[in-house]
Each structure stands twice: as C-alpha cells, then as structure tokens.
C-alpha cells in the first residue's frame, strides 16, 4: 500500500483491512480511536473496541516531518524502519520488556503493537514521587542483554558488520549530534534559558576549553564507536511501567553506537529527577531524603545490574566457545584483564554521556518536565544549576571514577539528600 498519512477517521478502515487484526478484534464496527498526541515526532493512536475494551492495540505512524516543528522541518519516514528493526530485536531477546508487535509496514511507516494500558510513562510518575521497585532490575537486564547480543563480543565478525550497515540511522543520529552534543554548548539560537539561570553557569559549559573538549570527545565517540545496537533514546519518557512490569518503547533513534550512551541516558535522567526532587518533595511536604535516596539507588542498581549481567553473559559465551575475544588465554589472566578494562571504558563513557544528556536538557531545546515544569523560576534555576554543575564535573572527570558510589557522593555533595533546608 502506498504511503498516506492516517488520521482518526482513516485508522478504523485501515485496521479492518489487515488480516493480522482479525484475531485481535471480534468486531470493527465499534472502534474508538484516540490520538495520544504527547509524542514529539510521530502520531500514536489507541484503538479500542468499545464493546470489549480488552480488544485494543496501539498504532504508531511516522510522518515525513518532525511533528513538534511542523511540515517545515522535513524528516525521512525511514526512522520507522529503525524503530521496527529494534523493536523486533528487543522482542526476540527481552519479550517481557517490549510491547508485542502485531504488524508493521515499511511502506506505510507504521507499527501496530500491544496497548500497554496498565502501565504509565514513568517520567510523569517519577515527577509525582512514585517508586518503581523493579525498574532497575528490568532496565539493567534489558540494556545488558540487548547490548551484549548485538556486539562483537557475541556476534560473528560478519554478522555484526552487516548489522551496522542495516541499522544506519543518519537523520536521527544528526538530531542527537546537534541537540545533545553541539547546540547547547555553542549558544545556538535554538537554546532556551531560564532567565533566572546564572550567566556564569551557562558560560562555564559554553566557554571553558576543557569542557568543550570533553563534550567534543563524547560527540566523537557517539559518531564513531559502533559497539552495539543502541535503543538510542533511553530516557524515562521511553519507559512504561507499573510496580511489577517494565516496557521499553520508542527505539526510533536506534543505531550502532557506544554502549555507554543508553546507560548514560537512563542514569542522567535519574540524576535530573534527583535534582528536581529537592524542591518537589519539599513542596509536597515530604522530607526529600527518602525519595531522593531511592532515585540514587535506582541509578546505581542500573549500572551495577548492567555490569553484573553483561559480564555473566560474556563469561558464559566465552566458556561455550572455549575461547575468548582476545583469543586463547594462555596465562589464565589475560581474558579477565581485558574484560575489566573493557567495563571500565563503558563506565567512563556512561558517565560522559549521562553528563551531556543532563546539560543539554537544561540549556538546549528539549527540556525534561521534571525540572522545566517547576513553576518557581528561582527554584527551577537552582535545580538547573545543580544539574549543570554535576554534568560538567562528570564529563571532565569521567576517567577518574572507579565506582558508582563516587557519583552518588558527587550528587549528594552538590545537593544534599535531605534537600536545601
Ligand atoms: P514519539 O516517538 O513520537 O515520541 P512515542 O513512541 O514516545 O512517540 O509514543 C508517544 C506516546 O504514546 C507515549 O508517550 C505513550 O503515552 C503512548 N504510547 C506509545 N506506545 C504505546 C503502547 N505500546 N501502549 C500504550 N501507550 C503507548
Ligand atoms: Mg520518539
């Protein structure tokens, strides 16, 4: 079928015509179609049989422009191919953390998937102060499993290289290169600054050669280190969860990049939430310490869980192969030395990418609601300055940390757990 943009009036007929939908809906005559509309890039429709509300799916369609910017900002629909490839890869490895994929079409640039109707986007819930007890366990498993199984440590020399070619994602990578690694630091006209944010804080991330160099190194790593098939946009707006289950959605930025990028996205977002909850918890009348401790612990558990699971996968694979990535281990210590140094590099990258992700959310175009929705501009500026300070120390010092506790200590030294009295 030739591409055409669907809308709430066309979706029902489109669904009705698909053989894959016949077993999911008992009737197509009473479909309720609701456009979700909180996405930045695409159109998402929730389709439900009004007479049997368990019969429900989500349809996501890419349009040939950037939705938030309008038709004046063209963007190839090819991104949906990357999203579908990544969703299918994730589904094959982590079926309990990805919505079921019922149908996809390259021509129509769309995917039809399970409606996660018992789950919420966690950013909104984290803003409210909700604890997700299994989040770190699920997210760390997802990241370890997807990154390991797409890397050179697991795949054959040929398959990995073919995958890199197949999953190339030029336009969406460029968005990240511009909006995460370039514009925030060059005082670009797309930047948006809180008028209460101190000029010194902005100047520090834009006019310090050491910092510009460090961010430049992260940009270069993002563009050149084809280590694993990344989700590419793994922030807390791409996770739908409840207390028991966690789903990772929206991998349209997926491409082969550095492993630390997905980890950094998640962990940087948890640190931003940490800074926002100094004010938010006080405003709710709570002692900020309890919720903020959970946020820091969750970030630590994501890293530590990732490290442990990734190494487990790697060791079992080497054992099954009877050799290691570096070849036969003649002295019995070389493979272990290589693995340790490898994990140290991923840790360092994770810190650097988390830092860039944090700083860009403060001065760049796309903010995070955790901080941007704090109405009191002075309180918002305090959270912003804390996030900028943490980001700048992290990116500059990223090779000097030896464990996650040191990052938690840094966060606490910038903004004490119990908040500003
Ligand atoms: P975009 O790429 O345009 O940002 P998303 O994939 O983030 O779009 O989806 C936009 C919104 O649609 C999400 O924030 C969520 O509210 C809703 N959504 C997306 N996928 C599902 C799903 N499988 N089940 C329920 N809601 C979903
Ligand atoms: Mg998206």
Average pLDDT in the chain: 96
Q: Say what the pLDDT of residue 322 is.
A: 94
* Atom in ligand 1 nearest the alpha carbon of residue 43: 3
Q: What is the DSSP letter of 382?
A: H
Tokens of 28: 């197509």
- Asked if 244 and 349 sit in the same domain, the reply is yes
Residue 72 confidence class, pLDDT cut points 50, 70, 90: confident
Whether residue 171 is contained in a domain is answered as yes
Give domain status of residue 421, yes or no: no
Residue 280 has pLDDT above 70, yes or no: yes
Decide: 164 in ligand 1 pocket, CB within 6 A.
no
| Residue labelled with tokens 């969406």 | 172
State in Å: Cα 294 to ligand 2 middle. 27
| 124 and 110 within one domain | no
Q: Strands 110-114, 52-62: parallel, antiparallel or unpaired by DSSP?
A: antiparallel
| Residue 419: inside a domain | no
pLDDT confidence bin for 373, thresholds 50/70/90: very high
Rounded Cα distance between 186 and 349, Å, is 22
Q: Is 63 in the pocket of ligand 1 (CB under 6 A)?
A: no
3-class state of residue 182 by DSSP: coil
Question: Do residues 201 and 94 share a domain?
Answer: no
How confident is the model over 381-395, as a mean pLDDT? 98
**CA 123, CA 368: separation in Å to the nearest integer?**
9
**Rounded distance from Cα 91 to ligand 1 centre (Å):** 17
Residue 126 and residue 99 share a domain: no
Instruction: Please report, for residues 85, 115, 151, 394, the alpha-carbon distance to residue 310 in angstroms, rounded to integers and kept in the order given.
Output: 22, 30, 11, 23
Q: To test the ligand 1 pocket, which listed residue (24, 33, 44) has its Cβ within 8 A of the most ligand atoms? A: 44
Share of the chain above pLDDT 70, in %: 99
In a domain, 6, yes or no: no
Which residue among 79, 114, 149 closes a domain?
A: 114
Please tell me the residue having the least CA distance from ligand 1 atom 18. 44
- Domain count for the chain, please give it: 2
Cα–Cα distance for residue pair 96/401, rounded to 1 Å? 33
CA 213 to chain centre: 24
**Among residues 114, 135, 169, which one ends one of the domains?**
114
Kindly give the distance from the C-alpha atom of residue 419 to the centroid of ligand 1, in angstroms, as a whole number.
33
Residue 392 CA to ligand 2 centre (angstroms): 27
Is 99 a pocket residue for ligand 1 (Cβ < 6 Å)?
Answer: yes
Same domain, 275 and 169: yes
- pLDDT at position 70 over 80: no
Ligand 1 atom closest to the Cα of residue 42 is 3
What pLDDT does 73 receive?
Answer: 82
DSSP-derived secondary structure for 55-79:
EEEEEEEE-SEETTTEEEEE--TTH
| Whether 259 and 152 share a structural domain | yes
In a domain, 265, yes or no: yes
Regarding whether 254 and 362 lie in a shared domain, the answer is yes
* pLDDT reported for residue 40: 76
* Whether residue 43 is found in the same domain as residue 124: no
**Ligand 1 pocket member 124 (CB < 6 A):** no
What CATH number corresponds to the domain at position 228? 3.90.1200.10
Residue 306 within a domain? yes
CA 237 to ligand 1 center in whole angstroms: 9
The strand ranges marked E within 274-321 are none
The strand pairing partners of 56, in sequence order, are: 48
Q: Is 173 in the pocket of ligand 1 (CB under 6 A)?
A: no
Q: Is the CB of 37 under 6 A from ligand 1?
A: no
CA distance 254 to 234: 10
Shared domain check, 190 and 42: no
Atom of ligand 1 nearest to the CA of 119: 25
* Mutation test residue for ligand 1: of 240, 241, 242, 245, the one with most atoms within 8 Å of CB: 240
Q: What tens digit of pLDDT does each residue of 180-197 get? A: 999 999 999 999 999 999
420 pLDDT exceeds 80?
A: no
Select from 249, 251, 366 the residue to mutate for testing ligand 1; criterion: most ligand atoms less than 8 Å from CB: 249
Predicted confidence at residue 421, as pLDDT, reads 64
CATH number of the domain bearing residue 69: 3.30.200.20
Distance between start and end Cα atoms, the chain: 61
Minimum CA distance residue for ligand 1 atom 15? 121
Contact (CB, 8 A) for 31 and 50: yes
CA dihedral 308, 395, 176, 207 (to 10 degrees): 180
Considering the domain architecture, whether residues 61 and 203 belong to the same structural domain is answered as: no
pLDDT score of 9 more than 70 = yes
CA neighbor of 307 nearest in space, from 339, 353, 266: 339
Q: Are residues 83 and 139 in the same domain?
A: no
Q: Which atom of ligand 1 is nearest to the CA of 99?
A: 23
Residue 100 has pLDDT above 70, yes or no: yes
Q: Is the CB of 252 under 6 A from ligand 1?
A: yes
Among all bound ligands, the one having the nearest atom to the CA of 114 is: 1
Mean pLDDT of 273-291: 97
420 in any annotated domain: no
Q: Helix or strand or coil: residue 43?
A: strand
Question: Measured over all CA atoms, what is the biggest interatomic distance in the chain, rounded to whole angstroms?
Answer: 70
pLDDT of residue 67: 80
Neighbouring-strand partners of residue 241: 120, 246
Q: Which residue has the tokens 């589904």?
A: 91
Label residues 257-283 b or e (16+ Cβ within 10 Å = b): bbbbbbbbbbbbbbbbbbbbbbbbbbe
Residues composing the chain: 421
Round to whole Å and give the CA distance between 90 and 139: 12
Q: How confident is the model at residue 368 (pLDDT cuts 50, 70, 90)?
A: very high
DSSP string, 226-265: --EE--S--STTSEEE-SS-EEE---TT--EE-THHHHHH
Q: What is the pLDDT of residues 120-158, one digit of tens each?
A: 999 999 999 999 999 999 999 999 999 999 999 999 899
Tokens representing 30? 């009473």
Q: For residue 186, tell me if it sits in a domain.
A: yes
Q: Which of 36, 69, 116, 369 to mutate to test the pocket of ligand 1 (most atoms within 8 A of CB)?
A: 36
User: What percent of the chain is modeled with pLDDT above 90?
Assistant: 95
What is the CA(60)–ligand 1 centre distance, in A?
8
pLDDT of residue 372: 97
The span from the CA of 374 to the CA of 272, in Å, is 13
Is the same domain home to 75 and 129? no
Q: Ligand 1 pocket, 150 CB below 6 A?
A: no
Q: Assign 145 to helix, strand or coil.
A: helix
How far is the C-alpha of 258 from the C-alpha of 227, rounded, in Å? 5
Q: What is the pLDDT of residues 217-266, one digit of tens each?
A: 999 999 999 999 999 999 999 999 999 999 999 999 999 999 999 999 99
Q: Is the pTM of this model over 0.85?
A: yes
Last residue of a domain, one of 69, 95, 114: 114
Q: Which domain holds residue 17?
A: 11-114
């Amino acid at each position: 079928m030739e591409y055409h943009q669907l809308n709430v009036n066309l979706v029902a007929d489109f669904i009705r015509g698909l053989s894959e939908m016949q077993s999911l809906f008992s009737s197509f005559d009473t479909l309720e179609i609701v456009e979700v509309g909180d996405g930045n890039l695409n159109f998402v429709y929730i389709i439900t049989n009004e007479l049997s509300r368990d019969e429900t799916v989500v349809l996501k369609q890419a349009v040939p422009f950037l939705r938030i910017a309008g038709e004046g900002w063209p963007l190839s629909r090819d991104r949906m191919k990357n999203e579908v490839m990544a969703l299918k890869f994730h589904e094959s490895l982590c079926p309990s953390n990805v919505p079921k994929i019922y149908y996809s079409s390259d021509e129509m640039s769309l995917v039809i998937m399970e409606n996660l109707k018992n789950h919420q986007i966690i950013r909104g819930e984290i803003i409210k102060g909700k604890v997700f007890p299994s989040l770190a366990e699920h997210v760390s498993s997802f990241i370890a499993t997807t990154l390991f199984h797409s890397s050179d440590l697991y795949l054959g020399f040929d398959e990995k290289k073919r995958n890199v070619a197949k999953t190339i994602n030029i336009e969406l990578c460029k968005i990240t290169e511009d909006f995460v690694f370039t514009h925030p630091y060059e005082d670009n006209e797309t930047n948006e600054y809180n008028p209460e944010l101190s000029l010194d804080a902005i100047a520090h991330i834009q006019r310090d050669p050491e910092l510009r160099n460090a961010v430049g190194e992260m940009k270069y790593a993002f563009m050149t280190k084809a280590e694993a098939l990344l989700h590419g946009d793994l922030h807390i707006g791409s996770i739908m969860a409840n207390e028991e289950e966690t789903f990772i959605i929206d991998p349209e930025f997926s491409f082969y990049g550095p492993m630390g990028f997905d980890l950094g996205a998640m962990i940087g977002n948890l640190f931003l939430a940490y800074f926002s909850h100094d004010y938010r918890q006080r405003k709710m009348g709570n002692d900020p310490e309890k919720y903020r401790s959970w946020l820091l612990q969750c970030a630590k558990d994501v890293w530590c869980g990732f490290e442990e699971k990734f190494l487990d996968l790697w060791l079992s694979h080497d054992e099954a192969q009877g050799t290691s990535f570096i070849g036969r281990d003649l002295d019995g210590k070389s493979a272990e030395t290589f693995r340790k140094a490898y994990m140290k590099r991923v840790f360092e990258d994770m810190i650097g990418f988390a830092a860039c992700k944090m700083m860009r959310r403060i001065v760049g175009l796309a903010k995070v609601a955790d901080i941007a929705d704090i109405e009191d501009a002075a309180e918002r500026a305090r959270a912003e300055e804390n996030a900028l300070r943490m980001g700048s120390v992290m990116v500059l010092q990223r090779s000097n940390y030896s464990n996650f506790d040191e990052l938690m200590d840094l966060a606490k030294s910038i903004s004490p757990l119990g908040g500003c009295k």
